Amino acid sequence: MYSRAVTAALFDSIPEKYHSLLDYTEYRHFAKDFIAELGNARSSMINSVRGVIASILSSAGHSVNNKILGSANADRSKDKVLLSLLRFPEDNKSKPFAPILFPQGKKRLEYIFTSQIVLEIHRVMVHGQSSLGENSKLDPKANGTKYGISEATDHSIALAGTLARFLVSADKLWASKGAITEINWEDNYRTYRKLLTSNPDAPSIKNIFQTFNKHVFAGVPKTAGNTNEVDEDDDVEDEINAAMHRLAFGDFDDNRDESDGNGEVLGDNSNVHIDVPVRDRQSIAGPSHLRQTQ
């Protein structure tokens, strides 16, 4: 019920002039349709990235059996290659600033998130699997094409980094907290966003965004309204972003989802975690998030 209450709060953050466009009797119709669409987007994004994560790692010089990476239920806890991507030799456990986030796995914070792996994951999140490889092309059904996404944001980069770390971890469910690793994925996402937003004018932070826009969105024209300028709607957008984050990392106690053979959560989407779907290709406004999925 918590996530449904947050959905109601999200509805209230929408400008009143648009309320007449929604059938919101006690929020039921709005909540049902909104959450269902978020669940569909979430499932599509994670399945899309999981389907090519082995290829992404291979192109970056890390050979891992596709059976281990392609199935959410596979045991990834002892694979040496994956462990090397999750922690540095001096660490006895995985930490947020993991090798997978850095080019060549070398811990230099000024280059965090700009590893080939994270860039490719971001690309697939927005442009689909067909955007990888020599004969790459944008998937017309992917979010990047449908919604005119042409640049990265702190939300999308933080999600791509979190998803990179999650997909090579032992956890099977994409949830606020990992059942196996006990990693708090929500805190992980928050940590990445804080790093990107605490000093946005720093040259190193600007360079991170420039790297993503160059390698993930090169050649994609910006659409009207896709700027970083402050306008009168910013407060509304901030409220929506906050509500979306709360919804994305909501309570899972009322979860009634069922999993298919590959581990992807299907059925009721009452606990949906918002995803913002993403190599050379408007702004992903709002947090892309986690829901209990595989």
Q: Domains of the chain: which residue ranges?
A: 2-222+240-266
Q: Choose the weakest-confidence range: 13-27, 48-62, 84-98.
A: 13-27
In this model, does residue 241 exceed pLDDT 70?
no
pLDDT at position 226, please? 41
Of the given ranges (49-63, 212-226, 274-288), which has the lowest mean pLDDT? Answer: 274-288
Residue 75 has pLDDT above 50, yes or no: yes
Backbone angles phi, psi at 177, to 5 degrees: -135, 130
Positive/negative CA dihedral, 90, 91, 96, 98: positive
Q: Which two tokens stand for residue 201?
A: 């004018």
State the average pLDDT over residues 257-270: 34
Tell me if 84 sits within 8 A of 105, measured CB to CB.
yes
Residue 163 has pLDDT above 80, yes or no: yes
- Find the Cα–Cα–Cα–Cα dihedral 200, 235, 35, 174, rounded to 10°: 20
Which helix (H) or strand (E) is 188 found in, with range? helix 185-197
Could you tell me if 282 and 148 are in contact, meaning their C-beta atoms sit under 8 angstroms apart? yes
pLDDT at 30 over 80: no
User: In this predicted model, what pLDDT tens digit does every residue of 276-294 receive, in sequence order?
Assistant: 333 333 333 333 333 344 4
**How do 258-259 and 265-266 pair as beta strands?**
antiparallel
Cα distances from 84 to residues 58, 61, 104, 106, 210, in angstroms, run 14, 12, 12, 11, 27
68 vs 256: CA distance, rounded Å:
27
User: Which tokens is 112 given?
Assistant: 């965090």
